Amino acid sequence: MEFEMKKNSIGKDLLESASLGALSWAVGMMAFSCAEILTNDFLDLYQPWSVWRVVLLTYAVFGALLGLGAGLGIWVLRVLSGWRETSAVPLLMGAFLGVFLLMVIGVPLNDRYLPGFFAPISLATNAGAIAVCTGLALAAFAHLRTRSGGLLWLSFINLGLAFGFVLALSRYLDMYVLQTEPVLESVLSFGSVAIVGLLLWRCGVRILEIFTGEKVLAKAAVSGLIAIALIWSVGLYLEREIRPHGKAAAATDGKPNLLWIVMDTTRADHLGSYGYEKGTSPNLDEMAKQSVVFEKAISQASWTMPSHFQMVTSRFDSGKENALPDDYETVAEILRDEGYDTASVLGNYSLGRRSGFDQGFADVMDGPVNIFYLKFFDKLPVVKWMVRSGLIAPDTAVRWYHRHTFLEGVGARGADLTDRSIDWINGRDGDRPFFLFLNYMDVHDAFDPPEPYRSQFAPGVDPMLGFVRFDAEEGEAIDSNTFVRDVLPTMEPGDWGELVDLYDGEIAYLDEHIGRLLADLEAQGELDNTIVVVTSDHGELFGEHDLAYHFKALTEEETHVPLIIRYPSGMPAGARVPGAVELNDILPTVLELAEIESDAPMDGSSLVAAARTGNADTGPVFTYLLRDPRAKFPHTLAGHLLGVRKDGQKYVWSSGGEHEFYVLENDPKAHDNLYISRGGAPMELEEELARWRDSVGLNEISKEKLDPITRDRLRALGYID
């Protein structure tokens, strides 16, 4: 009987310790999550509540699962050490803070700086980190053990919030601000954040003491004011470091607004106004009837950053840069100086802060949002386990918990970006004209259209197919070069057809929200006084030329993009321009329409005359792709590519000697390379390209070193491995 009672007592203690572990760690994770959400929102790394709700739930479940294990570990510790009389709860709470800190600093430490876990330097460094985190856990335990009941739990939440603020803001500084800064400045910045967190915690302690009867109102007020002042100082520092935009000039009367929309990764030949028959774009097709449609708009690059840089500067050489330097004058800077309110809403986070693209914008809404568990899951086979376990649907696991897929998918949805755009337009003060640049990411892979568009365009298609570069066996995304080499040869035509169906569903979903934005402008009476530009930065390959994705070549599938411009006062409704034009031409076009003169150098030409006459006569059209050849990826051996098209002919020079020549009148998709059979390209095209190459400074092409922020962005988007 005594043995049985003892056995029951042990079982009860074990169950209680595990349950308290799950509860306390879930509460701690949710406190951290709240701090992380508030930090992201404070720093304009926006997500809607529908996303934050999932984030909170994930942290709670993740914390509860880890807490179960922690509860078992604390029970064993208490039994072996004779601490049976010591309350398990403060121990569990202190352990949470120590372990979580170890996770947050351990992931970047080992990923970025240490050579390998078992290397002597790594073992020593990790041992030091464990010692620091253990010390923090013991200090937290010493603080919490003097409390009990509700005060204990409130004190733990206060610690978790302050702790979460320090970690979330430190991760932000590490990602966006300090990777390229001197060591001393980094140390001082992290130290300042730690001091602010400490003051926030002390302020919380004082407030709790007030509510438990201690008369310390004055001290609490002083602590609170100091904390607020320091937070304000940190905010001003971040604003100065990240977005030195300057202020708009005095208002300019009578100028039109400008709404510039980029549908990232959208091919022209998948829109109804360009002859596509699947009904992907009813709202854009209706807009096209009131606009000028440029039938052969050519992007100057086949991937995001150089294409956007050239668009907003009308400068070819800006596309050579990893980050846009300040000495290029952008459309936002020109319009800001003309008195415009300026803002950008950016779904593609390669254009976000520290890319240089934000110069001239007074308001920048960008990303990526900083959610710790996504980074943590990315380093451990968590998503792989989720996909294989069957506990949740595999596509749900990839959609929400695979970091890169999340940041390119539900973390940058068109509905949310449109809501932000409408809110910004309608929430402005004063009567100044506005310029809004809007980059939508929905059409970029992963191809994961929401309902009802999935059922309409891709009924019955396996949703996992849309996560085309997610390798379920490896539990991670593979870069697009590896996809072309290893996966593309195994795909059947039916696979490509289904993938295109998902792609079309994404276009249709995005079309709905572009239509909603235009409808709101019309309801406000602003649409006809707004120059509306709809285009794309590049297209997409679906097996053509034995290639996939983009950033592969200068194919028509990658460079032929839509360009539709609506402005009733300056552009004829329903006009179509068949000749080839450049995206570099957009900036001079909108400046002419707005009757704004600029001294900024530009390589493009205004398309206003072409729109009114229907005849584009802007001379040769140029494109280029800078990419070093890599022996393990044969399709890259062509190396750097420079292209020119003129008079219905297209010539692509290759640094690897794989030159191309096409007669577009007979071969509009440029699939039949005539370079060898014709003995080269026409001399006129070669000379035209040589002159342009010299003027742009591409005679000496070298590989520039990528800074850590740019490297992480390009790796996340699959441009590098």
**Digit-coded pLDDT (tens) for 174-223:** 777 766 566 667 677 778 888 888 888 888 888 877 766 544 444 444 45
Give the separation between CA 194 and CA 424, rounded to whole angstroms: 34
Q: Are residues 219 and 261 in the same domain?
A: no
pTM for the model stands at 0.89
**pLDDT greater than 80 at residue 712:** no
**pLDDT greater than 60 at residue 713:** no
Quick one: pLDDT band at residue 84, thresholds 50, 70, 90? Answer: low
Final residue in a domain of this structure, among 242, 274, 296: 242
More confident residue, 605 or 236: 605
Give the separation between CA 554 and CA 298, rounded to whole angstroms: 10
Q: Has residue 637 been placed in a domain?
A: no
Pairing verdict, β 621-625 and 575-582: unpaired
pLDDT number for residue 2: 47
Q: Has residue 696 been placed in a domain?
A: no
Average pLDDT over residues 17-28: 93
User: What is the Cα gyration radius of the chain?
Assistant: 28
Q: Are residues 235 and 322 in the same domain?
A: no
Question: Which secondary-structure segment (H or E) carries 266?
Answer: none
Average pLDDT over residues 37-55: 88
Give the separation between CA 568 and CA 292, rounded to whole angstroms: 10
**Nearby residues of 218 by Cβ (< 8 Å), 6 or more positions away:** none
**pLDDT greater than 60 at residue 704:** no
Percent residues over pLDDT 70 in the chain: 87
Q: What is the secondary structure of 597-616 as a DSSP string?
A: ---S--S----HHHHHHT--
**pLDDT greater than 70 at residue 4:** no
Q: Are residues 320 and 422 in the same domain?
A: yes
Give the separation between CA 92 and CA 113, rounded to whole angstroms: 31
The answer to whether 716 and 404 have CB atoms below 8 angstroms apart is: yes
Give residue 137's domain range: 9-242
Q: Are residues 159 and 297 in the same domain?
A: no
**pLDDT greater than 70 at residue 68:** yes
pLDDT number for residue 380: 81
Q: Are residues 236 and 279 in the same domain?
A: no
**Nearby residues of 85 by Cβ (< 8 Å), 6 or more positions away:** none
Q: Has residue 380 been placed in a domain?
A: yes
Final residue in a domain of this structure, among 211, 242, 273: 242
Q: Are residues 300 and 182 in the same domain?
A: no
Q: Are residues 375 and 460 in the same domain?
A: yes
Largest CA distance in the chain: 102
Q: What is the pLDDT of residues 359-377, one digit of tens each?
A: 999 999 887 788 999 988 8
The answer to whether 580 and 296 have CB atoms below 8 angstroms apart is: yes
**pLDDT greater than 60 at residue 295:** yes
Long-range interactions of 62-65: CB distance < 8 A, separation 24+: 62/29, 62/373, 63/22, 63/25, 63/26, 63/27, 63/28, 63/29, 63/30, 63/96, 64/22, 64/23, 64/25, 64/26, 65/22
As a whole number, the mean pLDDT across the chain is 87
pLDDT number for residue 217: 45
Q: Is 660 helix (H, G, I), strand (E, B) or coil?
A: strand
User: Would you give the distance in Å from CA 585 to the centre of its chain?
Assistant: 27
Q: Are residues 482 and 522 in the same domain?
A: yes
pLDDT number for residue 229: 52
Q: Which two tokens stand for residue 718?
A: 């699959």
Specify the CATH number for the domain of residue 467.
Answer: 3.40.720.10
Q: Are residues 349 and 460 in the same domain?
A: yes
Percent residues over pLDDT 90 in the chain: 63
The answer to whether 566 and 526 have CB atoms below 8 angstroms apart is: no
Q: Which two tokens stand for residue 470?
A: 């997610």
Q: Has residue 4 been placed in a domain?
A: no
User: Would you give the distance in Å from CA 27 to the centre of its chain?
Assistant: 29
Q: Are residues 238 and 284 in the same domain?
A: no
Cα distances (Å, whole numbers) of residue 285 to 435, 508, 564: 23, 11, 10
Quick one: pLDDT band at residue 721, thresholds 50, 70, 90? Answer: low
Q: Has residue 644 been placed in a domain?
A: no
Average pLDDT over residues 325-346: 96
Final residue in a domain of this structure, among 216, 242, 268: 242
**pLDDT greater than 90 at residue 112:** no
Phi/psi at 596 (5° precision): -115, 130
Average pLDDT over residues 291-302: 97
Q: Has residue 84 been placed in a domain?
A: yes
Q: Are residues 320 and 228 in the same domain?
A: no
Q: Has residue 477 been placed in a domain?
A: yes
Q: Which two tokens stand for residue 298?
A: 């050519």
Q: Are residues 238 and 101 in the same domain?
A: yes
Number of domains the chain is built from: 2
The answer to whether 505 and 453 have CB atoms below 8 angstroms apart is: yes
Q: Has residue 462 been placed in a domain?
A: yes
